[in-house]
Structure 1
């Protein structure tokens, strides 16, 4: 562990079939007014909305609702929530849904009492949070983003065609998160698969960086193997509790800062997908899958040893009779085979992209660089490859 780090995670996790039983006790820690933030109709279909409303009412709370948070939450939706917080002096934002709902809640949390333009201050200029923060709690219904135990908030500005992510300090983390794997049973397969690749991508963005031997890489390899195994089980049996619980907890850990400790990290795949999402509003995990394969095939020689390790330790590919380059490519091929076996999207056309969008996406992508810093032209080549996949 050659890079110094400070690790703090203040989120309390309640995990399991009876985890909602802890909500009433958590509510005792906050004032009278709760903003209930959620998506469209899914939490009502599974009966979770009625359960939460009942607990809030029995706890004597005033309920303010922010409904209709979309899969790629917009800055306009954040502003709608900000107005509700200010008008009602909200004491806690309770986000019930997937990562997009929780991301939106955190965006509202830091923006509600910001005296400057929050979009510019927090998502463009990455300034420190120096204003009052409204606490957030979450009840998770979709495994993928890890937003339930981190400070991340990815928000799309429709007017500017920018999808920007900001990882806020630990004070912005949900104070508590309730994780019941059974809440994920009713998800359409497409959404489940999108979440599965999202969690895998979070791990690979940290993994494919650095040339040292760090404990974090061993943790990532184990989580990837767990996700791969559990994904196949969940596809055959969507109500297999063990598989769905493993996926839910793996997702939480995958985007926890724990999996980036002493790592330089990459995140270029995410930066490309963010702009893809800004133009197409596609499912995040599907966009990541489409971008990942051509991206890794472009940079693997610059991190050859790590790609060899990925092939042998994650996919179990035998080394005998293969060069390092052959092993590295075999690992990427194994990733592609898994993607295709699961039915995860690899073609940008299927995600709503048009040929005319590609240059705009490439030119607006934030360039970070991992093993190698790409040019906008190289990013465009990746997008063209994914478009024709």
Structure 2
């Protein structure tokens, strides 16, 4: 384990089939006015909306609805949510949905009492909140982002063609999150598998960095194996509770900062994928899937030892009579075969990217230095072209 670090997670989790009942324990901790945040209305079809409205009313809450949160929340929607919260003196932001709703709620929470434009302050200057933060609670209906137990909030600006995430501190993390695996059963297959790959790639982003013997990497390998195993079961039977509960729990632990402790992290797949998303508005997990393999094949020679370990420990590749590179390549091939079996999109052209967008997508890619290779603009362009 490298360096010195602290670890604290401020979010309380309630997990399982009866977890929504614990909303009754949390609501009395907050004031009367609740901003109910949700997406396109699926929670009204599956009955979750009625359950939550009933619990809110039983607890004497005044409900102010904030519907229509899109899969890639926009800066315009953020400003709309801030307006609702300010006008109604909101005491609690309750996000019901997937990671986009949770991200959006956190972005609103740091913006309500801040006079500056949130896009400029948090997403261009990356400043931290200096104002009072409105507390957030989450009821998760879709797994993937891990937003239910971290401080991340990703917002898209279509005018600027930028999709940027800001990872806030403990004070912005949800105060509580409710995780009922059954709420994920009704997700369309495309959304389910996109979320599964999002989970897997969150782990990869933290795993493919560093050379030391690090406990975090051992945890990461176990999480990856769990995702692969449960994903194949869920693919055959989406209502397999054990598989879906494992996927939901792994999603949370993949990105609640635990496995990033004591090591550097990469995040370049996310930087490239988010820039693709800014141009196409494509599903986040699919943008990651489409750029992952070209990126990993490009950086593999710079982190060959870890890629060989990945092949052996996660995919069971046997190393006898093979070079390290051959083992590593077999590991990435096994990963590719799993991705194809899930039905993930593996080409950015299938997400709407055209040749004339590539330079702009590369320009919008934030370059980070935690991985095995700090990319140049030309190398990002090369990876994007190989992703086509």
TM-score for both structures, normalised by structure 1: 0.99
Single out whichever of 164-173 and 116-125 deviates more from structure 2: 116-125
Q: Structure 1: how far apart are the matches of 2:348 and 2:118?
A: 32
Q: Secondary structure at the match of 1:111?
A: coil
Deviation at 1:332, TM superposition (A): 0.9
2:378 aligned with 1:377 = yes
Structure 2, unaligned runs of 5 or more: none
Query: What does 1:67-86 correspond to in 2, within 5 Å?
Result: 67-86=67-86
Q: Secondary structure at the match of 1:356?
A: helix
Q: Secondary structure at the match of 1:233?
A: helix
Deviation at 1:2, TM superposition (A): 1.6
Q: Secondary structure at the match of 2:387?
A: helix
2:250 corresponds in structure 1 to: 250
Q: Secondary structure at the match of 2:171?
A: helix
2:39 aligned with 1:39 = yes
Query: What does 1:170-189 correspond to in 2, within 5 Å?
Result: 170-189=170-189
2:120 corresponds in structure 1 to: 120
2:299 aligned with 1:293 = no
Residues 108-157 of structure 1 deviation map (CA, whole Å, 9 limit, x = unaligned): 00011112222111111111221110000000000100000000000001
1:136 corresponds in structure 2 to: 136
Q: Secondary structure at the match of 1:309?
A: helix
Residues 24-70 of structure 1 deviation map (CA, whole Å, 9 limit, x = unaligned): 12100000000000001211111000110111111111000000000
Query: What does 1:174-323 correspond to in 2, within 5 Å?
Result: 174-323=174-323
Structure 1, unaligned runs of 5 or more: none
Q: Structure 2: how far apart are the matches of 1:296 and 1:268?
A: 10
Single out whichever of 260-269 and 113-122 deviates more from structure 2: 113-122
Deviation at 1:376, TM superposition (A): 1.1
Deviation at 1:224, TM superposition (A): 0.1
Deviation at 1:262, TM superposition (A): 0.9
1:363 corresponds in structure 2 to: 363
Q: Structure 2: how far apart are the matches of 1:266 and 1:54?
A: 44
State the 4+ residue runs in structure 1 displaced beyond 4 angstroms. none
2:98 corresponds in structure 1 to: 98
TM-score for both structures, normalised by structure 2: 0.99
Q: Structure 2: how far apart are the matches of 1:207 and 1:2?
A: 14
Q: Secondary structure at the match of 2:29?
A: coil
Q: Structure 2: how far apart are the matches of 1:75 and 1:263?
A: 33
Q: Secondary structure at the match of 2:153?
A: strand
Deviation at 1:217, TM superposition (A): 0.1
Q: C-alpha root-mean-square deviation of aligned residues, in Å?
A: 0.7
Give the number of equivalent residue pairs: 387
